[in-house]
Structure 1
Amino acid sequence: MAEPSAVTGRARATARARPGPAAPTARAGWWALIAAAVLYNAWVLEAVLPTGLDPRHSYVSELYAADQPFHGLFGGIEIVTALLVAAGALSLPARRYPAAGRRAGAGRWALVAFAASSVADVIVPMRCAPSVNHACEAVNPWHTATSALAHAALFGSMALLVAAAFRSPGRPPLRRWGPWVLGAALLTALATVGPLFARPGWHGVPQRAHLVLVGVWLVLLTTAHRPEPDPGARPGGP
């Protein structure tokens, strides 16, 4: 007859190996964030589509300006990306660790706000593309406001989720790389404001670098879905 401790150990191992009820949701959230990271950089389609815009000197949002030929395509991609970000954010395990739960929960909802602001960006697009139409205003009040809200929500979510990672056990990738991605994303975002102050030119380069960094950030968030080891488990035995 097996020893009670051995039976108990096997039962614990089976319970740890068996995915819980939240496993399908976590898996779906993982894929949503990966897909969002890819689609958030759909601007690479400029390489094969005749957009008429110079990526070095144009905002990505000019691709779905109201008068642009691919307005529907890029606007649709932006909305799908926002929905994927929201789905991925809501699946993040905000209460895994009590010490990090409050910050993680706030960061999760800030990420949802970022997604909502991105949808608003498409609903009130730029009227035209100022990089190729000099009669077009560089600052569209409504679109500039929604873009500012999107950036505020994005950086708020990044700061909160990085802070939550520092209050979690172990050394998750989000804690190791998150501060670097946050700092680089903030610097590249600040480097894009030239046209808002009547100094256009080359702002397209840092903006596209910023979008790549946001994609990297979304991939980092997928590490939150990895199962954590049971703190009560002992290697090689019950």
Structure 2
Amino acid sequence: MRLRPTRGTAAAGLLLAASVVYNDWVLQFFLPTGLHQRDSYVSELFAADQPYRILFSLVESACAALVVTGGALAWSVLPGGRASAGCAATVAFGVFSIADVLLPLHCAPSVERGCPEGSPWHTTTSGMVHFALFASMALFITAARRGNPPLEIVRRWGPWLLAVSMTAAILTVGPFFGHPGGHGLAQRIHLTSVGVWFALLAVAIFRYGAEEGRRDAECVDSQHHSQL
């Protein structure tokens, strides 16, 4: 039980780091990628023929590793039920994100004529990433509303983030239906909302671990005094 605060802090730290690393698209402001923020998918940055594909692939993989490890540690801290399922979905999100990097686009459709909007494998892994993400958010929000665990900050702000993130994600599919333009901006709003979600979850887990650690300490002290 005494490990709970340590694991909670570690999980929170990893997810907080992931919240920043996940938005690696901001590096476009400093690198001559040749891709327009408004009209390009972030996955185009690590397409097979892009000049900075190795850099962005490594950053994406590092973020996925942070999420997998943070989610696994949170799994050992939070109670069972929907919270555990939320942790499992978070870990799955990280695993699917790694698959997304390993199966990249062949080219960048926003700047290359004849380049398809997506490939079957990459589209599939991206869909799995989104499914795991939204499942994780929904499970944590439901658990917080039921007070098991009492993650107040998730209960209060989680539904709003889920709505924003899902709406922005839906707005990114325009090119697949013959309506390109603006999908890059929508995706970056989505990614920003996911980063905020990871930060929110990190704070909630840290607070929960600290509170449970305090209760454990009080319990041990009470038992010690009773024995005296």
Alignment TM-score, normalising by the size of structure 1: 0.84
**What is the DSSP-based 3-state SS (H/G/I as helix, E as strand, rest coil) of the residue aligned with 2:65?**
helix
CA distance 1:86–1:171, shift in 2 (3 Å): closer
Contact 1:117/1:149 (8 A) holds in 2 = yes
**What is the DSSP-based 3-state SS (H/G/I as helix, E as strand, rest coil) of the residue aligned with 1:91?**
helix
**What is the DSSP-based 3-state SS (H/G/I as helix, E as strand, rest coil) of the residue aligned with 2:49?**
coil
Q: Does 1:201 align with 2:206?
A: no
Q: Does 1:73 align with 2:52?
A: no
Identity %: 47
Contact 1:103/1:160 (8 A) holds in 2 = yes
Q: Does 1:123 align with 2:123?
A: no
Q: How far 1:122 sits from its partner (Å)?
A: 0.5
Distance 1:116 1:72 in 2: 19
Distance 1:21 1:29 in 2: 12
Contact 2:141/2:154 (8 A) holds in 1 = yes
The aligned residue for residue 87 of structure 2 is 108
Distance 2:27 2:196 in 1: 19
Q: Which one of 180, 195, 212 corresponds to residue 160 of structure 2?
A: 180
Instruction: State the Cα RMSD in Å.
Output: 2.1
Q: Which one of 34, 41, 51 corresponds to residue 59 of structure 1?
A: 41
**1:157-176 alignment runs, 5 A limit:** 157-168=136-147, 172-176=152-156
Q: Which one of 109, 133, 149 corresponds to residue 154 of structure 1?
A: 133
Distance 2:155 2:73 in 1: 19
Q: Deviations over 1:113-160 (max 9, x none)?
A: 111110001100000000000210112111000000000010000000
Contact 2:8/2:205 (8 A) holds in 1 = no
Distance 1:117 1:34 in 2: 19
Q: Deviations over 1:52-73 (max 9, x none)?
A: 0001000000000000000000
Q: Which one of 33, 39, 64 corresponds to residue 82 of structure 1?
A: 64
Q: How far 1:199 sits from its partner (Å)?
A: 1.3
Distance 2:52 2:39 in 1: 18
**What is the DSSP-based 3-state SS (H/G/I as helix, E as strand, rest coil) of the residue aligned with 1:193?**
helix
CA distance 1:172–1:136, shift in 2 (3 Å): same
Extract structure 1 runs of 4+ deviating beyond 3 A.
93-97
The aligned residue for residue 206 of structure 2 is 225
Q: How far 1:171 sits from its partner (Å)?
A: 6.2
Distance 2:78 2:107 in 1: 46
Contact 2:7/2:77 (8 A) holds in 1 = no
Contact 2:72/2:91 (8 A) holds in 1 = yes
The aligned residue for residue 221 of structure 2 is none
In the alignment, residue 180 of structure 2 is paired with which amino acid?
P
Contact 1:188/1:209 (8 A) holds in 2 = yes
Higher helix share: 2
Q: Number of paired residues?
A: 214
Deviates more, 1:140-149 or 1:23-32: 23-32
Gaps of 5+ in 1: 1-18
Gaps of 5+ in 2: 219-224
Deviates more, 1:23-32 or 1:76-85: 23-32
